Structure 1
Amino acid sequence: MTTPQNTPPAYGLTTEQVQKLQEQYGKNELTPRKKQSFLRKALHIICEPIFLLLLIAATIYFILGEPRDGAIMLVFVIGVIGIDVTQEWKTDRTLNALKNLSAPRIQVIRDGRQEEIESADLVPGDIMRIAEGMKVPADGKILEANDLCIDESSLTGENEGVWKAAAGKAEPSSDYWRKDTCYAGTFVLKGSAVVQVEKIGAATEYGKIGANVASAPESRTPLQKQTDSLVKTCSIIAIALFVLVCVFTYLNLPDHAFPERITESVLSGITLAMAMIPEEFPVILAVFLSMGAWRLAKRNSLVRRLPSVETLGAVSVLCVDKTGTITRNQMSVQDIWAPDGDTQTLLETMGLACETNAYDPMEKAMVACCEANGIGKGHLFSGTLIREYAFTNELKMMGHVWRHDGEVLIATKGGPEKILDLCELSETERQITEHRILEMSSQGLRVIAVGLEKPVDEDAIPAAITDCKLTFCGLVGLCDPPRESMKEDISRCTKAGIRVVMITGDNGITASAIAKQIGMPNADRIMTGEELDSMSDEELRRRVRDVSIFSRVIPEHKMRIVKALKDNGEIVAMTGDGVNDAPALKYADIGIAMGKRGSEVSREAADLILMDDDFTTIVDTVRDGRRIYDNIRKAVGYVFTIHIPIAFSALLAPFLHINPADLFLLPLHVVLLELIIDPTCSIVLERQPAERNIMVRKPRKPNEKLLTPNLLWKSVLQGIAVFAASFTTYFSFLQQAPYNAPLARAMGLSIVIIANLFLVLVNSSSYDFAYASICRLAKDNVMWATLLGTFAMLFLILYTPLCGILKFAPLTMGQFFLAIGIAAGSVLWYEIVKFHSHATAKHKNSN
């Protein structure tokens, strides 16, 4: 793969060149996205146990000489498969849309203009800009470099950063890995560069090594495993009952011919087996999680890993950075103090210690303060920058060596405790300074110390910043005020049983002052990084239970804090934006990266990307995570409930010696009910709003099962009630008119179908009464469509030629309203249970 020649770097490629190169080289991807064909999707669904049973039932109808019933069965099978394929297609479309939203982006120069594109759209010859915290998207030659240091451990295995230089300026080397080249898959640790792309996709060095990564199998999530286990358990029970019902039905037909006895008994067994297999569970999981992720994306929370949607609802501890998350990330200098009163020297030294192209909010505020006091950039950076002392988490300070106004200056700034250690101060001067630091910090200001050294010449410049002997210039107090909504957000978290833990590199007094301003509980319980270093893991696990602020921490500390919290049984969400936050984000149960100011590395390590960097969005996302999990549970409970009347009626029929031809539900009718169950559980219940108390209850336990005993009992009782109402009505009509099984069947099935609507209204909330759901119905087009669609289907099968084809008889208006009344009574009794729960809760609260 070659790079187009004679392309002016400042202009970049033209649109015409890009189009031709994309046709030649394709996308910048390791492997192209594979699209599963419609036929393969349909075949996968048909292989599910439930559909195999349906096909067997249709075949038996044809064998019995009833081709019309067999054909109708096949039409219904196609209808149910169509619903499932449509749901899969919607899920795939949602996931692809989410992938597009989360696709890495890169700044390039095209047609002489700088623009941002998806990394996948890069072509050889593109001029791209990379900066600190980004993942390099392609192999390329460095045209310009500014303090560029890259982590190439993903390729070389060496953890040390590699300093890069522009082509022609790098030292000659025989190494395979060039110093004037950037490689795809590596991370920018420091600095920035302009790079001309040479290789993309599988042709890159990373592509050669990791071409098989995309084809690696994905492991099943805990929630998927739970649903798989439920389906398998029900399938085993279904097989056992299938055999039992076949035997009983066969023995119950002594006067029938042998072939007819076999086919009738198999049909009865299939009806029961179909009723026992809740094949909707995988559909529920896929649809609810993908649609939940899509709804979150529209609210500025981009989910990168679907299982995290479900985990969000269980978060019990939220670890957040102070700057930019709790505060606005809009620093301004609020106070300056020079012990000798020379504020001009203090300000100029502070400015010289900043980067010439400041990107850090604190440095931007410092340079702005200098300009506001008459010290412009033109004066500050008019000299020659000789060397830099880089900032590190261990040092907590940095410095620049300048030849400025004819003399050599070492301008330094950093944490007061670090800078003061390099200054020659008397005991009295030190005490006065420390008192001033305490005053500034207690006001919520971030305090930075400034020091200056003037070596006699360049040969006297110390090798390391720690070797400097500084003159103390003074202190700078910066303020990054809390976001306006933080006080309310912290209150919401506290009510929801979620601990907010502040982890910051700032000092504890400043962090505590901010925490008190926003009403954070235990704002005076602080632990420093130095204290943490002296603790064993066991002691740390004990202390993290009540510490709310961790100050002066480094990335390794974040990892230990998250691990200690997780060891205590907490579900931990962690926010981060820098390269060094990536390990902690990866280790947390939910890693939350900042979308605006976050590095590409942190975003790649995270489960969730916050598009607006707003703490309120995190709280709203947790709330929505709880809503999604609640709705998954409601749907699972609903599926159990609605399957019980079907299963019990098939199980009871042989014991009551009911002729198989007169059964309450034939396989045909089970498929008809599936056409109602699938849309109800996967569309209607997915969109249910959050419960009123969703953010005033404690987080659920991490090991809590999806199908709890309480939910199972509720579903069983509701299912038995619907079964009792529908089957008793059917059996009563059957006894009154033995030769009119179609009428008895029509009454029983009508009750089940109408009860289905009442179940949605009653179970859409575990706390609100059904009338609240009815009020919402007036504003929800989907609920209206479900209600009207269900009644339209019922009228279609009762009062059109389909009635006879489906082996029903039309109901009189009196019988129809009787069915509505019985259906309502079979479900609305649960409102009394809700009323009793409300009364009990009210009594407890009053005591």
Structure 2
Amino acid sequence: MIPVGKRGLTSAEAATRLAADGPNALPTRESRGLIAFTFQVMREPTFVLLVSAALVYLVLGDLREALVLAASVLVIVAITVVQERRTERALEALRDLSSPRALVIRDGREQRIAGAQVVRGDLLMLREGDRVPADARLIEANDFMVDESLLTGEAVPVAKRAHPHEGLEVQAFSGTLVVRGTALGEVVATGPRSELGRIGSLLHGRESPRTALEVETARVVRLIAIGALVLCVLMAVIFTAMRGDALGGVLAGLTLAMALLPEEFPVVLTVFLALGAWRISRHGVLTRRMPAIETLGAATVLCCDKTGTLTENRMTVVETWREGRWRTTADRDADDAALLRAAALACEPSPFDPMERAIHVTAPGAHERAGVLERRYPLAEGFLAVCHAWLPVEGDAHAAIKGAPETVLDLCALEPAARAAASAAAERAAARGLRLLGVAAAPWTHAPWPAAANGFAFRFLGFVALADPLRPAVPGAIALCRKAGIRVVMITGDHPATAAAIARAAGIDATRIVTGAEIGGLDDAALAQCVAATQIFARVRPEQKLRLVEALRRNGEVVVMTGDGVNDAPALRAADIGIAMGARGTDVAREAAALVLLDDDFTSIVGAVRLGRRIYDNIRYAMRFLVAVHVPLAGMSFVPLFAGWPLLVFPVHVVFLEFVIDPTCSVVFEAERGDAGIMDRPPRRRGERLFTARIVAVGLALGASVLAAVTAVYGLALAQGLPEGEARALGFAALVAGDVALIFANRSGEHGFVARFTRDNPALWWVVGITLGALVLCVYAPSVASLFRFMPPAPGAFAVAVAAGFASVLWYEVVRAVRRN
């Protein structure tokens, strides 16, 4: 509701000030430009090795080979820069989406804008749960308190008063949290000019901590790199000793280093997580913290609210009850109108809660005629109701209260029979899935106002019944969770009967319901036993959600928790994955959460879990492929040396293969749609490592089989007396075909041989087609073949070599078929 006479800035004025002052954003690490990106890539080990190999060829007098490697360097730099720029742009877009929002008055109307768009002179409307987006002076303040611990370290909230005529003194600082009341403020400083901005300028250079997945990948890369270095030195020494060619030994060592260097591992992790966050955002879930993506696939318990998550969150008043009778919209009379007006006076003037909005619709103009809202009595421990005290322009002061039927009935002096009838009506309404609010009113002729709401002599007016229908897709989504081994737990502030009615419609076990009062009487050990056998918790206060989350985690569960309020923040932070409601959630809830549900829809959470499992599976497939593909490449550096054969692999061949490996890992496997039965299996175990012994063993076995095929093709070609160039072309053809076969072998964990070739993945066929086409060009185009030291073999021999490479992994298909059966 816009205060009288407050129109705020115009859109044109706001745009001018935004251009002059810049966005309302804290200092951040500057985005790296093209030149900075390029220099960073030039420091990468692969780049250094390629340049070193080119210099060796230059010393050897092979100018053409040196130029080919130099050209390869430029291509690799270009591809890497493009990939990193795309990843950074995706992350920047996600950061923009996750910035806090602000409610401002512009052009005479309320507008919800991104926090970065707030400018000097904007009129901010601040409510409980909001994060103040910029430094502001207060024009109006109503029971307004903020938590300034972010700036001062003091945990005690600070009361703020309005000083509309005292210059530009700041009362509400950027980044502080509104914990009570409402206020209207005028922005006086934004971005780096705010108090928080001055602090932020000291912190913007700090990097975010690495995730567990990044730490594990770095460990593996470090171990492989150390092993590669040892093998490269060993290769150079053995080559020099056996063949008496020091420069050739250095070149062989550099080639082996290029073959073994695991630079793709961190690239895979970065690309998969960034694109995974982008894919999840397309399903209405915004990723604020990357570790959430790797954790989603392990979720075992999904704790959710009822209203707005399982239901449609479009509350409407459907019935009223008074004097022993239910009345629908069609047969309401003047007394029903008075009941609804009293309910509206117990709501906020500018409501955020959907139930309060629904009540406002049924009693339009109630606040305008009520006078001045003098006192608020909010929800408290054991007091599940909200009371507002009003001072009218004429007549006596009065109070209106709405809330849980039992709380309101306890405050009213009712005859036992009337109390029993009202309680029975409330139970029957709750059993029908209706949300019921008791309503009462009281006059007040004394001064001052009572310290608590129970100081009023309330007269019971009746009940207001509201309905919020279940989302149509929820029952199917919950059934899918059950198949996936994920337990859905409803945690709601509603009446137990209401919660049970919605749970039964959704397919959640309603056999046992535990209330907030019962939770309060349980110690931690008893609560841990309780949460293991209960799917519905009703009449739960927000602060009790934290205890429930902690109890579930003590039981070894991986917990997904949804929330929207200020008091939900501790539970969201304590959960393995906190999910804030984007449409109705407060800023502090969004900041505490790892994910933000943009549409507040339960089915989006289930979709995010599916995507999380898919992302993690695809990362594992890509890592297994990387383990496998390096084995034959490295092995064919040693085998010819010990067998006395000419070398098969030179730096130019490694560069060719890198053009297959990099796009395969970062594009093909990331685009895999996931197994059809991905939600038919239980979650992975907590703490399960990415590089398990099984993954490494299978990768090494697959790579060894390709190495055996390449060795056989190359050895037989040489044994038959074929020229070195032809033998090398056949051996390399088998190696490339084997690498392509490894792509198909690692695509899925559940599909058979035929499905591995028919499953849709356009990126796969582009990579395979370009790779095989480039192979034919390298072997049969004379000018290109000479760069690779090839001579064109007979087409039949070439086809046999390619077939041998493809056939090298068929044993794995047989093993998987036997295991599936």
Greater mean deviation of Cα atoms: 713-722 or 122-131: 122-131
SS in 1 for 2:466: strand
**Hey, what's the Cα distance between the residues in 2 that align with 1:105 and 1:320?**
24
Which of 616, 621, 627 is the aligned partner of 1:634? 621
Q: CA RMSD in A?
A: 2.6
Residue 59 of structure 2 is aligned to residue 72 of structure 1 = no
Report what 1:4 is aligned to: none
The CA deviation at 1:23 is 4.8
Residues 618-649 of structure 1: per-residue CA shift (max 9 Å, x gap): 11111011111111111111111111101122
Residue 488 of structure 2 is aligned to residue 491 of structure 1 = no
Residues 535-577 of structure 1: per-residue CA shift (max 9 Å, x gap): 2223222322121122222232111211222222222111111
Which of 408, 411, 419 is the aligned partner of 2:400? 411
The one-letter code matched in structure 1 to 2:806 is A
Report what 1:534 is aligned to: 521
CA distance 1:363–1:126, change in 2 (3 Å): closer
The CA deviation at 1:415 is 1.6
SS in 2 for 1:84: helix
Report what 1:844 is aligned to: none
Residue 506 of structure 2 is aligned to residue 518 of structure 1 = yes
**Residue-pair matches, total:** 806
Report what 2:312 is aligned to: 328
8 Å contact kept, 1:352–1:380? no
8 Å contact kept, 2:349–2:367? no
SS in 1 for 2:547: helix
The one-letter code matched in structure 1 to 2:192 is A
Report what 1:799 is aligned to: 780
SS in 2 for 1:184: coil
CA distance 1:616–1:805, change in 2 (3 Å): same
Greater mean deviation of Cα atoms: 474-483 or 510-519: 474-483
Greater mean deviation of Cα atoms: 524-533 or 324-333: 524-533
Report what 1:55 is aligned to: 51
CA distance 1:120–1:380, change in 2 (3 Å): closer
SS in 1 for 2:221: helix
TM-score by length of 2: 0.92
**Hey, what's the Cα distance between the residues in 2 that align with 1:219 and 1:320?**
29
Report what 1:249 is aligned to: 239
8 Å contact kept, 1:87–1:283? no
Which of 261, 276, 290 is the aligned partner of 1:292? 276
The one-letter code matched in structure 1 to 2:442 is E
Residues 302-342 of structure 1: per-residue CA shift (max 9 Å, x gap): 11122222221211111111111111112233443334667
Greater mean deviation of Cα atoms: 69-78 or 511-520: 69-78
The CA deviation at 1:400 is 2.2
Residues 663-695 of structure 1: per-residue CA shift (max 9 Å, x gap): 121232122211111011111111011101101
Report what 1:229 is aligned to: 219
**Hey, what's the Cα distance between the residues in 1 that align with 2:223 and 2:476?**
46
**Hey, what's the Cα distance between the residues in 2 that align with 1:169 and 1:433?**
51
**Hey, what's the Cα distance between the residues in 1 that align with 2:202 and 2:370?**
52
Residue 184 of structure 2 is aligned to residue 194 of structure 1 = yes
For residues 289-368 of structure 1, what are the structure 2 equivalents within 5 Å?
289-339=273-323, 346-368=339-361
CA distance 1:352–1:86, change in 2 (3 Å): closer
Report what 2:576 is aligned to: 589
Residue 743 of structure 2 is aligned to residue 743 of structure 1 = no
CA distance 1:489–1:29, change in 2 (3 Å): same
Gaps of 5+ in 1: 1-7, 840-847
The one-letter code matched in structure 1 to 2:660 is I
Residue 533 of structure 2 is aligned to residue 546 of structure 1 = yes
Report what 2:328 is aligned to: none
Report what 1:646 is aligned to: 633
For residues 64-143 of structure 1, what are the structure 2 equivalents within 5 Å?
64-110=60-106, 115-143=111-139
Report what 1:758 is aligned to: 741
The one-letter code matched in structure 2 to 1:555 is P
SS in 2 for 1:544: helix
Residues 447-501 of structure 1: per-residue CA shift (max 9 Å, x gap): 322233333x132742211333433333333222211111111101111111111
**Hey, what's the Cα distance between the residues in 1 that align with 2:373 and 2:17?**
41
The one-letter code matched in structure 1 to 2:299 is V
**Hey, what's the Cα distance between the residues in 2 that align with 1:151 and 1:169?**
24
CA distance 1:490–1:533, change in 2 (3 Å): same
CA distance 1:114–1:329, change in 2 (3 Å): closer
Residues 669-726 of structure 1: per-residue CA shift (max 9 Å, x gap): 1222111110111111110111011011111112111122222222122111111111
Report what 2:559 is aligned to: 572
SS in 2 for 1:593: strand
CA distance 1:328–1:18, change in 2 (3 Å): closer
For residues 164-179 of structure 1, what are the structure 2 equivalents within 5 Å?
164-168=160-164
Report sequence identity in percent: 40
**Hey, what's the Cα distance between the residues in 1 that align with 2:295 and 2:566?**
24
**Hey, what's the Cα distance between the residues in 2 that align with 1:454 and 1:143?**
31
Residues 701-756 of structure 1: per-residue CA shift (max 9 Å, x gap): 12111122222222122111111111210111122227x22211111111121233
8 Å contact kept, 2:628–2:702? yes
**Hey, what's the Cα distance between the residues in 1 that align with 2:562 and 2:307?**
11
The CA deviation at 1:132 is 3.4
CA distance 1:322–1:50, change in 2 (3 Å): same
8 Å contact kept, 2:377–2:386? yes
The one-letter code matched in structure 2 to 1:539 is A
**Hey, what's the Cα distance between the residues in 2 that align with 1:385 and 1:19?**
36
Report what 2:202 is aligned to: 212
Report what 1:438 is aligned to: 427
Gaps of 5+ in 2: 326-334
SS in 1 for 2:400: strand
**Hey, what's the Cα distance between the residues in 2 that align with 1:315 and 1:378?**
47
8 Å contact kept, 1:281–1:636? yes
**Hey, what's the Cα distance between the residues in 2 that align with 1:64 and 1:216?**
46
Which of 667, 670, 679 is the aligned partner of 2:663? 679
Residues 6-57 of structure 1: per-residue CA shift (max 9 Å, x gap): xx96251562x54554454333222155021333333333333333333332
8 Å contact kept, 1:348–1:380? no
**Stretches (4+) displaced over 6 A:** none
Residue 770 of structure 2 is aligned to residue 789 of structure 1 = yes
SS in 1 for 2:309: helix
Report what 1:622 is aligned to: 609
Report what 2:329 is aligned to: none
The CA deviation at 1:235 is 1.2
Residue 763 of structure 2 is aligned to residue 775 of structure 1 = no
Residue 173 of structure 2 is aligned to residue 183 of structure 1 = yes
The CA deviation at 1:427 is 4.5
Residues 125-156 of structure 1: per-residue CA shift (max 9 Å, x gap): 23333333321111122234455433323223
